[in-house]
Amino acid sequence: MELVERYLQAVKAALPGKQSDDIVQELRDSILSQVEERESTLGRPLNSSEIAEILKKMGNPMTLASRYGGRRQIIGGSLFTIYWKVLTWALTIALVAHAATSIAIAASGKPFGESLAVFFHFPGVALKVFAIVTLVFAALDLLGARLRPCDHWDPFKLPALVKKPARKSKFDLVVQLVLQAVFSAWWLTGLHYQYLVLGPGANFIRFGPIWLKIYPLFVVTASIDIGLTALALMRPDWGQPARAVRLLKHALGLLLLFLLANASTLFVPADVNRVEWQPVVRSINFGLHIGLVAAIVATLVNFVRDGVRFVRQLFAHEQQAAMGL
């Protein structure tokens, strides 16, 4: 019977302390009753293999003990839905804040490594956010908080139906791809041969040095743009990868805009000796800087919106996978 006691000892180790002796005593009686019944059928004492067989039927000691535990989750029921939403929002905000800080550091002209280092802090911050949100909700659940959606809800107050934009036809996408390729070629060549972009205006003004400094970024952004259209054309069902690439494009766009906005002169006079052109060029630079600030705000809004959509979709897919849908 040593085997039985070893089994009970293993069960007891995993049981909640309060009732463990009582539960073990009851289980002992049940096992011994089964042993006695089998012995009376066979007319002899059971050997260790036969006893082990009975114990195996009782189940793994850890599994058996776990069935006595009343509380199995730290955040349960409807509270979990709210917890999940708060957690995704908190993590998204943390990610956007890090991205914004990183871009701001890059735009201020500090070394690239310093800008990148901000992202290395993110996993630690994300872990802290996760821990804090989880602890708060676990405490609420433990205290029996009733943070559940209200029963007295009004169907008429539900958000308006979101209309999905119609998917572009293949023809539209091909036209878009050709136009993007032509525009990219024009723009990237035009930065070197400025008369292509500025036309006769190239006799009066020229691009400032910043445009060629960030030339590789223009190349990458144009490639991503073309790649996105090609992806929509070839694999229209790859929504999530496309969203991830679009997010990267917005981030690059933000970096481009910040770098441009940070440059003191976007355009310089074609002839530095023509003093009368200086005020005109200053006005152009001033106007463009204002335009760049507006573009930064718009791109930032797009970046945050697409970031939230991406994270939502990501978690929705994970939830569906977890639910086996």
Partner 1 sequence: MPHIVDNPLTANQEVLENLRLELRRGCLILAVLAELRIERYGYTLRKALADRGVEIDEGTLYPLLRRLESQGLLMSEWREEDKRNKRFYHLSKEGKSVLKQLTSEWNAISQSLDKLLNGVA
Q: Which residue has the tokens 């008429």?
A: 156
Q: Which stretch binds partner 1 (CB under 8 A): 17-25, 42-50, 106-114, 188-196?
A: 17-25
Take residue 90 and report the two structure tokens written for it.
């908190």
Q: CA 69: distance to chain centroid? A: 34
Size of the site for partner 1 (CB under 8 A): 19
Ramachandran class of 144: left when φ > 0, alpha when ψ lies in -120 to 50, beta otherwise:
left
CB of 30 to partner 1, least distance (A): 5
CB of 32 to partner 1, least distance (A): 7
Distances (CA, A) of 54 to 33, 60, 293: 11, 12, 76
| 29 touches partner 1 (CB under 8 A) | yes
Residue placing its CB nearer to partner 1 in the complex, 45 or 201: 45
Torsion sign over Cα 105, 107, 110, 116: positive
| 57 touches partner 1 (CB under 8 A) | yes
DSSP string, 184-211: HHHHHHHTTSTHHHHGGGGGTEEE-HHH
Residue placing its CB nearer to partner 1 in the complex, 35 or 107: 35
Q: Which stretch binds partner 1 (CB under 8 A): 63-71, 105-113, 218-226, 254-262?
A: 63-71
One-letter amino acid at 278 equals Q
| Candidate residues 1, 32, 97, 135; the one interacting with partner 1 per rule CB under 8 A | 32
CB of 24 to partner 1, least distance (A): 11
**Residue among 51, 48, 50 at smallest CA distance from 28:** 51
Site string (116-155) toward partner 1, x via CB under 8 A: ----------------------------------------
Q: How many Cα atoms are found within 13 Å in the side-chain-facing hemisphere of 86?
A: 15
| 58 touches partner 1 (CB under 8 A) | yes
| 52 touches partner 1 (CB under 8 A) | no
| Candidate residues 27, 87, 252, 260; the one interacting with partner 1 per rule CB under 8 A | 27
**Residue among 76, 227, 281, 31 at smallest CA distance from 39:** 31
Coil, strand or helix: which one is 238? coil
| Candidate residues 9, 25, 189, 278; the one interacting with partner 1 per rule CB under 8 A | 25
Residue placing its CB nearer to partner 1 in the complex, 19 or 189: 19
Q: In the window 238-267, what residues touch partner 1 (CB under 8 A)?
A: none
Query: 20-42 and 2-13 are packed helices; what angle lies between their axes, rounded to 10 degrees?
Result: 150
| 16 touches partner 1 (CB under 8 A) | no
Q: Which residues bind partner 1 (CB under 8 A)?
A: 19, 22-23, 25-27, 29-30, 32-34, 57-59, 63-64, 67-68, 70
